[in-house]
Structure 1
């Protein structure tokens, strides 16, 4: 289960990325539970993908909010990912861009074979990326 989700100091709650991080933690927690299901049914797989979509959406918006606070102008998820990589917030910009592509694919289409392939990538790459982002921002809040 998630570690380090203590309540934030009152001053932190006024910072946009910190507010959004609270929502991310909830979605990420649901994704974490879905990941624990080793052989999901079709419905469970669809839920896992939905929790991934929510977590990913909040993740890029956290990056955007944080980077804007740092003085960058961010206009899109792609721009947020690229700048987050350049700024050292994320380690693997390429896999985040692939995650964006998959998020866009799963939002607009549903095909069981595609869903199974996206599930594999969520488990092997995207969930670890989201976990790393969670750890990074949790560390910033605890400072």
Structure 2
């Protein structure tokens, strides 16, 4: 599934950045640091988009009616009710952050955003990745994923129970 592969790749990148955070915090060149942080925030926004869209796709395979709408808020509520996510308040905060950080300019705000992504949202995305992997295997085994979507990713997940992607 292409969307799944993109989501896992995005989550992996966020995890890699988080692991290198101490190095970035020590940077003396504020312009470079600001550019790196801005990229991290943009990557968060991209990962957030992929997160609710992969859930929408999977819930569509399950026949969940709420997955028909394109609203991130509606999809996230359906995710909560269908076991994709557990912490509604955190996901709602993540949605608000995604919207608010589109126009973030202040150095202090940027640093606060980076810390929030690392401490709150990266673990949230990792948890969702695990749930999505479980759902893919379940849907594959139940024959609910269309033939056109069946690829090596799904087969490897279903047969080995291991992520297709590099370790997060």
TM category (shorter chain) comes to 0.7 to 0.9
Matched, 1:23 2:6: yes
- Asked whether the equivalents of residues 104 and 110 of structure 2 are also in contact (C-alpha less than 8 Å), the reply is no
Q: 1 or 2 for the larger relative contact order (CA 8 Å, sep ≥6)?
A: 2
Taking only aligned residues, the RMSD between alpha carbons, in angstroms, comes to 1.6
Corresponding residue of 2:127 = 132
Question: TM-score if structure 1 supplies the norm length?
Answer: 0.79
- Asked whether the equivalents of residues 34 and 47 of structure 1 are also in contact (C-alpha less than 8 Å), the reply is no
Matches of 1:49 and 1:61 in 2, distance apart? Answer: 19
- Asked whether the equivalents of residues 28 and 51 of structure 1 are also in contact (C-alpha less than 8 Å), the reply is no
2:92 corresponds, among 78, 89, 97, to 97
Larger radius of gyration: 2
For structure 1, the residue ranges without an aligned partner over 5 or more in a row are 1-17
The runs of 4+ residues in structure 1 deviating greater than 3 Å are none
Matches of 1:31 and 1:106 in 2, distance apart? Answer: 16
Question: TM-score if structure 2 supplies the norm length?
Answer: 0.68
Corresponding residue of 2:107 = 112
Q: Deviations over 1:50-77 (max 9, x none)?
A: 2211111100111111122222223300
